[in-house]
Structure 1
């Protein structure tokens, strides 16, 4: 369910933009409301699962995910869908953290643990890998609502599996919820994402803009202070002394500086720049997502043989190389899914090499009784970096498109018109532009300028994804340190 939710919704964003009459920023918030909500509940859920039982909280989360998916499917406006996605994200974050904690407790030994997390990676990969084509087909043959409603049916099946296969477990030493930490962390992430997403409208240097980013910074400082003084913090900073844990955490962040946020924008490229319909775009995205289905078992075996400190940075480097190839493919003279194919495949392989070793390493680096806390920090790092980079990639895309339009239409359109045009192009509303944007047809009758703007914008986004992945690959490799040193320090909490 979680993998399917991540990869099927981006494919239908261009459809939602038209049907619900939303704009580019609202499409970003449809994704980011879910992401920020996940971040809000992760650590609280980890604590509740450790205290009251991981199977019990997991069951509650699945039920809530099914209910909130039903609410999303019944939404008839962008604002209602964004609010519903926030509720769905709360349930999704709780569901995700519990499943990792359950696996970590139920499979604690080397080979069994490797097989369990390898299987987890495959199942996650099925949802992730086939999500784009599922979303595209649903939009083509039915209504977009079924992209959400399908989770109601899957939730029922999942509950049956949980009742029959999951053992109850808890941590007798688990403490109270860290409410101050939850609130301050969530406000800081929301404030930064809001500043990046809405900054161009508010004015980055306006009183409102400066107030928002200042409030986000104060919230972050308060969060750090709250965790330092709390006897039982939700973020136990002592685990960052474990090189294995911190090295894997950089790998966790690296995936969300590159692969995951770009999945939201790649369908827009396929549909707007290449002119594909939702089914074809979903099919083209399979090259990006399907490697995550077949690579995880190999990644786990490689981790056992060569150490996660080698495999995780290698995976991030591979993702970055894939982004460079995608950038080259998008700028080709006759760009198509074929020119994008090598880069998409390579990025997907890199994600498959990174994802499950990161999850396994972060949870195995601490005692099993603290698996909820460890997986909570891991998932928080993923979702915080994802929320920020959804906003950053959207900003880079917009500015890249706007820069290209300025050089082409600066004498024909004013600054406001250029920004409005850039937003519509970024949102994927290319087909309707000539009919709906005053004077554009006569200025760009062949559509060459619009296409060039898209290529430039997406080229910058892909370059950013590559740099982010490579920088964090180096940070991860350095943090893991020599293999012998990691083995000596990893048992210490």
Structure 2
């Protein structure tokens, strides 16, 4: 086992953490500037949805493919290409003069983000082999990733207040340059020596399947759930996934090795990865909407309130790593997910209360954040440690695919639940129901926090505010049930001591 110089490893860790910071910020800082983009780019609601979703859809669609390319051509090489393209895409976003151009650039951002994300954990797994050193590295990675995701709304609100929306994107150009400098100095090139062929068929079929499903969830209401286009997309997506499973089961070096799920620690960790993104992270997009539209906070005040939600995610990972070492993943990962669910129950009670304020929200926010901090780094550390080091790219790709696919799907699902809750409340509160098309437009406006626009269509702001609070209550209940369900599932999977690594994974 090669021992890497501490200084080189530190440079590599800084590069990985800076790239993680960019990825997180670019997911959660965008909602803060959507009202501005609607005005300056003359973007309609559907275009605003695409500005938000294009990044995660693209990232999810090609994440496993990028992990495979990293295994074959070198994690450092693919990582650096990803960072460079991300910088270019961020510059295009910052200089965009129309919504379609911004959407296209967001797709390019998401594709390059997938290259960075798929290689981050593989780089850490390769360069940090000792238990204590590895735990510390993953702890810092989890903290910084959490800072990016959790503080995105604050950063977006601050930039839009102090500068202009362009800098929400352009700031990544500067960070990317620093990332490249540290990576060149610290990251050591690594490959999977057995990855002599590229699983092109697997890459294409999985990418098509993920793209189709996420597209259907995000755009399904516009298409109509039973419309011919929606049913066609669903059929093609399912067919692509079935074909992907068949292909991966038959080739020698699959990009998504289903045999890895024979390792209980790996399977339990993947459930933990999914659990966080069925609950905690997608809600960080909708919490600022509630704070600003329902409670009336400005962007800065809302961002400061979100600190109660995100700050514990930074404090808890060191404790999580100690619990992982002393008690094992079967204890810490289900505990973290259960704690997230408990926090969401408190949030549901607070958001549906007649006397909601930041004071009533803080207990639920803090408890959910502690749960996330207990879960975040142990799931990645457990997943990558469960498989042979040479399959680090695949392991990290499967882990991050679980995270990002569940994140993209649940951003869309939470949006659907929110809009459905708003629609249900409006149907009860309005004396005369508008047409389905108008009701859907009203629900979309209110779900995006645009209460003033809904007033122009005859809905009093007080009613719109109540409808939004009702929808948020449904979202928090959904997050709690998902976190608890996956906590139980992971506990069951971790139930027996993990089997030794399957010989089929050690070619």
State the TM-score, normalized to the length of structure 1.
Answer: 0.94
Q: CA, structure 1 residues 169+209, in 2 after alignment: closer, same or farther (shift >3 Å)?
A: closer
State the distance in 2 between where 1:198 and 1:34 align: 15
Answer yes or no: is 1:106 the counterpart of 2:106: no
**CA-atom RMSD in angstroms:** 1.8
Preserved contact between residue 14 and residue 268 of structure 1 (Cα < 8 Å): no
Number of corresponding residues = 483
Answer yes or no: is 1:472 the counterpart of 2:486: yes
Look up the SS of the partner of 1:290 in the other structure: helix
Deviation at 1:412, TM superposition (A): 4.9
What does the per-residue CA deviation read over 1:111-149, in whole Å, with 9 as the maximum and x for residues that have no partner? 111111112223323333433221111001111111111
Name the structure 2 match of 1:32. Answer: 53
In structure 1, runs of 5+ residues without a counterpart are none
State the distance in 2 between where 1:416 and 1:126 align: 39
In structure 2, runs of 5+ residues without a counterpart are 1-21
State the distance in 1 between where 2:394 and 2:160 align: 39
Answer yes or no: is 1:94 the counterpart of 2:115: yes
Q: CA, structure 1 residues 422+335, in 2 after alignment: closer, same or farther (shift >3 Å)?
A: same
State the distance in 2 between where 1:461 and 1:281 align: 19
Name the structure 1 match of 2:500. Answer: 489
Alignment partner of 1:462 out of 476, 480, 484: 476
Deviation at 1:207, TM superposition (A): 1.9
What does the per-residue CA deviation read over 1:371-417, in whole Å, with 9 as the maximum and x for residues that have no partner? 00100011111111112111111111111100110112252533332
Q: CA, structure 1 residues 428+20, in 2 after alignment: closer, same or farther (shift >3 Å)?
A: farther
Answer yes or no: is 1:368 the counterpart of 2:389: yes
Name the structure 2 match of 1:422. Answer: 443
Preserved contact between residue 352 and residue 473 of structure 2 (Cα < 8 Å): yes
Alignment partner of 1:236 out of 248, 253, 257: 257
Answer yes or no: is 1:299 the counterpart of 2:313: no
Q: CA, structure 1 residues 350+199, in 2 after alignment: closer, same or farther (shift >3 Å)?
A: same
Look up the SS of the partner of 1:204 in the other structure: coil
Name the structure 2 match of 1:163. Answer: 184
Name the structure 2 match of 1:275. Answer: 296
Answer yes or no: is 1:451 the counterpart of 2:465: yes
More displaced 10-residue stretch of structure 1: 150-159 or 121-130 = 121-130
Look up the SS of the partner of 1:432 in the other structure: helix
Alignment partner of 1:290 out of 299, 302, 311: 311
State the distance in 2 between where 1:143 and 1:309 align: 46
More displaced 10-residue stretch of structure 1: 7-16 or 133-142 = 7-16
State the distance in 1 between where 2:426 and 2:404 align: 33
Look up the SS of the partner of 1:322 in the other structure: helix
State the distance in 1 between where 2:483 and 2:47 align: 27
State the distance in 2 between where 1:358 and 1:471 align: 17
Deviation at 1:50, TM superposition (A): 2.1
Alignment partner of 1:146 out of 163, 167, 173: 167
More displaced 10-residue stretch of structure 1: 14-23 or 399-408 = 14-23
Deviation at 1:226, TM superposition (A): 1.7
Name the structure 2 match of 1:57. Answer: 78
